[in-house]
Structure 1
């Protein structure tokens, strides 16, 4: 609900809110400029002295005003000719024209009404309302993503448009909410929708009937400092019954022109004080620094609009276009999808199509939209969930478990959970398993036991479909053909071969980046923007199912590099290791933000074995800031598969790599990276105590062995790998 409340005002009112924000940001400069350029009064100068000096310079003086930014302006009639000027309070002489700045006036009319008078004011009020809704809903979404209000500035992960969007929102959202709310207040006041709240000064019971009392001797003016003045209106010439009207920041008073006596005084009401404070907060008049700060925050609106649109577009691309999707309220079968890269949506669409052909009304939705109240006719819920990282929720399933935990009772309709993953990963279908356990703990009835699909296997999916059909009492054949991911053709530039002596052929393959258009570079699409640790999906010939390899370079390097080891019977590894320079391969990029080194200064402890050194080498290559990096690297034999040996020596020489510890499982003294860690336990503990981050890449057995070793090493310090992982200081890329 909050996400929809944030999304649609943002998309529908983006242009209007952008005009509102940019014009407001430009207007915020003028109060500060006026504050700096306004002539200053003499120290301790009172209103009486100022009025006497201006009246002497300008016969027929009618009014003196002081703006919140300090500019003093006078208006007069001299021989029937009106005049006005900005006044130097020290002399009473003219200091400049009183005519408004034409640029400021143009911007003000644009900001207030789009040059359309009252109709335009209403349109801009709608823009202010959209800005307020976006700010409040955005604040709620930031807090949700960060893990609560107390973690407002927690470290973010995910694709760059979403991270940039949230980073800007963290700084600007409350200022934008203030601007939107004050704009709505001022619009309501303009259209007399709010009470005035002003108390008029009481008419004096007795006026002296005299005139020409010296201005510099009037006590009411002499005791009032110029900094408190707002307006001084002079009596009409020749009317002995008229009086001076003095307005200040605390109230309004009437002064006898013949005696200088203060005849009456009315202070500002609480309502007036609130209204004036709101005017100050919105315009910056009287609070120039605050105005500039709010103006800077407003400049973030177009950037947040652009990144928000990119996030929305990415979400749209991740889902298929659903046809014949039954309304949520009429659906008999509800299919909820948890997907990171989009492939699970394809399986869900195949399932929905088969169930519709069986006579079911089917509603397909992301798991993040889970709300049983929307499905009063649901007879069953089917969850198709992939796993992100080490058992985390994928993009379209965020907050599902929180929503489930917050229900007063589990849905009456039974549930079946189907997990999607790769069995070679240790966290195979871990998120789906979490969903299954949480559902059972809440007492949610089971339609089928949880099942899994390995590596997008159509056979696994069809087998589960037949079991589902049996449970429903209908024949159900799920014939799913995985959509071939959109890929680009990459050309092999060079290769470095290793491992032949230990019967483990391995190669470092360097591929040329394809040419990309301007928009692709701006939007970061395809292979235009990536970091070491991201994943390169390779499409083997004769298969639509990609194989993923950790990237050992960044887009700034101008090439993409991976380390590949031949696996017995491996379709993709065999094809890759048969490539020669000039040969091509079909590939695409998948972001892996959970395994990026980041730009911080904290030390890195990198642990890898075999081809797991690939992304770790990429981190070291990109270490321009020379942050401390200690690499533990395991291999079979240093004479055979010491990957990146020459590169590591060069990086150590120029300070990108502080320390290298190797472990060879064959040779004179066989040992593994776990043994190397134990040998240097003291240094490891000291580095972690000082904030070092641990990053592990390699095979599943190696990663488990490293975790167990670190468990032992860190126990005396009261730390565990799990604790470090919760704090974002332990990351794994395991295959």
Structure 2
């Protein structure tokens, strides 16, 4: 019998093959029943050849990802090669070339491109990228291209990362779409390079990598964990409160890097499978299970080598990044973390540790990374804050910080799914609205209306207010998911303001984004 799956497979045969099969059937003249069945199947294949739904892989997702570097002294090339290796280790085909090797025709056909570029001399392109910059000026449009740039420089020079910034502006002018925002690295700053690694992890869909330069964590204590959206139809979001015995400072907009740990059950299962005792004491007094909690778990036991050597060969777990959700003067460091799940249904490494496995009172390994690109303007500058989901974290920190100045003007546009379950920190937001600290508050819940309404819809509806605030010198700060909200809000802004004004706002520092 010809079943649906077999018929579906038959429909993918080339058309000449189907016709040849039909001719052979008539020439061979098999038994009447078999012949009729095969001829019917062939006829159906011919009829359905062009109308059966074809399973297509999204364009640009299966091909090789190109990483092009502009390097005068070798640093950009070395980082490009490291980036290439991380992507390959994650199962993504990648290739590394000098920027001048990228021709006009190839650029016009590329769908994704990563650029790792240095600035040479007085803001010039390195020698192996000068031809490319000249040819880029002759390109008419690159709407198919999605790109990201890691720019290397030294902030003590006036033309800090000038070449990378010129590339960013020119590619956007050609309608190319950023995969994520430009990253400028000051003197090979380790934190920015770790952030680039995180972005590579998002691209490859594999965040299990080895940090090029591990974070030097400090111990913080988990004081409180509260689910902010119980009963919601999506993943839960938790508010976590941490404290430190040290005097640590940060600004609204800064990032924390967390050193995650495996769930105890997973470590015990791994060691038991290897025939090792999780409660075994190491020479330094540490339990074996605790020593493994911050490392990639082993697949073999230490037969012919010492335990110390065996442990040293296990690479540390990669860090995880989260926006800080409180200002320093609040006395605590808050995070808003959405519990993520991996393909097999298990909790994400970082969010699982923070939202499920870490006990209250437990030590959390944490490092604060300065993020000047999202730190706030002075209190006299009106501020428009836009975000969704756990992106409220970075916006809340700015509102807390600006609360010290009672005359600051603030407007928050925030979106989630259902008001009944996802009204995150609603009492605090309403209190700020009532006091006037929030001059305007627009809340949207996509699953509560028909048609569905998102934060970008609220922004478009408030176009006249947006123009008025910008005319008063307001800055726009956007925090949350890049896919979906981040891109949609940017599209809305370009429709309302035009590409030129949005690019001018970005270049002047009045349009800033913290997207992930």
How does the TM-score come out when normalised to structure 1? 0.37
1:426 aligned onto 2:179: yes
8 Å CA contact retained: 2:382, 2:475: yes
- 1:393-420, Cα deviation, whole Å (9 max, x unpaired): 3454874876899xxxxxxxxxxxxxxx
**CA deviation after TM superposition for structure 1 residue 565, in Å:** 0.5
Cα separation, partners in 2 of 1:403 and 1:698, compared to 1, 3 Å: closer
1:677 counterpart = 2:459: yes
Residues in 1 aligned to 2:399 and 2:183: alpha-carbon distance in whole angstroms: 31
- What does residue range 34-45 of structure 1 map to in structure 2 within 5 Å? none
Aligned residue runs from structure 1 range 241-390, under 5 A? 334-337=73-76, 367=118
Higher RCO (C-alpha under 8 Å, 6+ residues apart): 2
CA contact (8 A) 2:475 2:510 kept: yes
Deviation at 1:580, TM superposition (A): 3.8
Q: Is the 8 A contact 1:604 1:695 kept in 2?
A: yes
2:360 maps to 1:581 = yes
Tell whether the 8 Å contact from 1:490 to 1:585 is kept in structure 2 after alignment: yes
Tell me, yes or no, if structure 1 residue 489 matches structure 2 residue 247.
Answer: no
Equivalent in the alignment of 1:611: 390
CA contact (8 A) 1:532 1:551 kept: yes
Q: Which residue of 1 aligns with 2:350?
A: 572
Structure of higher CA gyration radius: 1
Contact 1:551–1:561 under 8 Å retained in 2: yes
- Displacement, 1:720? 3.0
Out of 605-614 and 491-500, give the one that drifted further. 491-500
Deviation at 1:617?
0.9
C-alpha displacement of 1:547 = 1.2
Following TM superposition, by how much is the alpha carbon of 1:506 offset from its aligned partner in structure 2, in angstroms? 0.7
What's the offset of the Cα at 1:665?
Answer: 1.0
1:657 aligned partner: 438
What is the Cα deviation at residue 559 of structure 1?
A: 1.1
Shift of 1:481: 7.2
Distance, in Å, in 2 between the alignment partners of 1:493 and 1:691 is: 40
- In structure 2, what is the equivalent of residue 702 of structure 1? 485
SS in 2 for 1:639: helix
Q: Show the counterpart of 1:536.
A: 256
Residue 566 of structure 1 and its aligned partner are, at CA, apart by: 1.2
Q: CA deviation at 1:430?
A: 7.3
Q: CA deviation at 1:731?
A: 0.6
Change in CA separation of 1:347 and 1:514 when aligned onto 2, cut-off 3 Å: farther
Per-residue CA deviation, residues 477-509 of structure 1 (Å, 9 max, x unaligned), is xx9874431101111111221334213111111
Secondary structure of 1:657 counterpart: coil
1:357-506 correspondence runs (5 A): 367=118, 391=149, 393-396=151-154, 399=159, 426-427=179-180, 482-501=212-231, 502-506=233-237
- Quote the residue 1:560 is aligned against: 333
Question: What residue is the counterpart of 2:322 in the other structure?
Answer: 549
> Residue by residue, what CA displacement relative to the aligned partner does 1:272-296 show, whole Å, maximum 9, x if unpaired?
xxxxxxxxxxxxxxxxxxxxxxxxx
Shift of 1:345: 12
**Residue of structure 2 equivalent to 1:638:** 419
2:53 alignment counterpart: none
Cα shift at 1:427: 2.3
Equivalent of residue 505 in structure 2, options 720, 724, 732 = 724
Give the direction of change, closer, same or farther, for the CA distance of 1:403–1:675 in structure 2 (3 Å limit).
Answer: closer
1:711 maps to 494
| 468, 471, 474: which one aligns with 1:689 | 471
Cα distance, 1:537 vs. partner? 0.4
Say if 1:664 and 1:455 are closer, same or farther in 2 by CA, change over 3 A. Answer: closer
Question: What is the aligned partner in structure 1 of residue 7 from structure 2?
Answer: none
- In 2, distance between residues paired with 1:486 and 1:535? 14
Which residue number in structure 2 is paired with residue 600 of structure 1?
379
| Conservation of the 8 A alpha-carbon contact between 1:608 and 1:616 | yes
Preserved contact between residue 493 and residue 511 of structure 1 (Cα < 8 Å): yes
Q: Secondary structure at the match of 2:415?
A: strand
- 5 Å-filtered alignment, 1:21-170, equals none
Distance 2:370 2:183 in 1: 20
User: Of 244, 250, 269, which aligns to 1:513?
Assistant: 244
Corresponding residue number in structure 1 for 2:108: none
CA contact (8 A) 1:603 1:629 kept: yes
Q: What secondary structure, in the 3-state scheme, does the structure 2 residue paired with 1:509 have?
A: strand
SS at match of 2:75: strand
Q: How much does 1:346 deviate?
A: 12
1:540–1:571 contact (8 Å) kept in structure 2: yes
Q: Which residue of 1 aligns with 2:9?
A: none
Q: Secondary structure at the match of 1:564?
A: strand
**Aligned CA distance change for structure 1 residues 404 and 634 (closer, same or farther; 3 Å):** closer
On the 8 A contact 2:239/2:335 being kept in 1, the answer is: yes
Q: 1:539·1:587 contact (CA, 8 Å) conserved in 2?
A: yes
Question: SS at the partner of 1:666?
Answer: helix
**Secondary structure at the residue paired with 1:711?**
helix
Show CA shifts across 1:443-498 (max 9, x none): xxxxxxxxx977678xx9xxxxxxxxxxxxxxxxxx98744311011111112213
Distance change (3 Å), C-alpha of 1:394 and 1:660 = farther
CA positional deviation for 1:602 = 1.9
Distance in 2 between residues matched to 1:509 and 1:554, nearest whole Å: 14
Counting matched residue pairs gives 300
User: 1: distance between equivalents of 2:318 and 2:420?
Assistant: 35
Distance 1:591 1:699 in 2: 20
* Partner Cα distance (2:214, 2:161) in 1: 31
SS of residue in 2 equivalent to 1:504: coil
TM-score (norm 2): 0.51
RMSD: 4.0
Gaps of 5+ in 2: 1-71, 86-116, 129-147, 166-177, 186-195, 262-294, 296-315, 343-347
Distance 1:592 1:494 in 2: 25
**CA shift in 2, pair 1:426/1:544, >3 Å:** same
1:265 equivalent in structure 2: none
CA deviation after TM superposition for structure 1 residue 598, in Å? 2.4
CA 1:632–1:454 in 2, change beyond 3 Å: closer, same or farther? closer
* Distance (Å, rounded) in 1 between the aligned partners of 2:330 and 2:388: 23
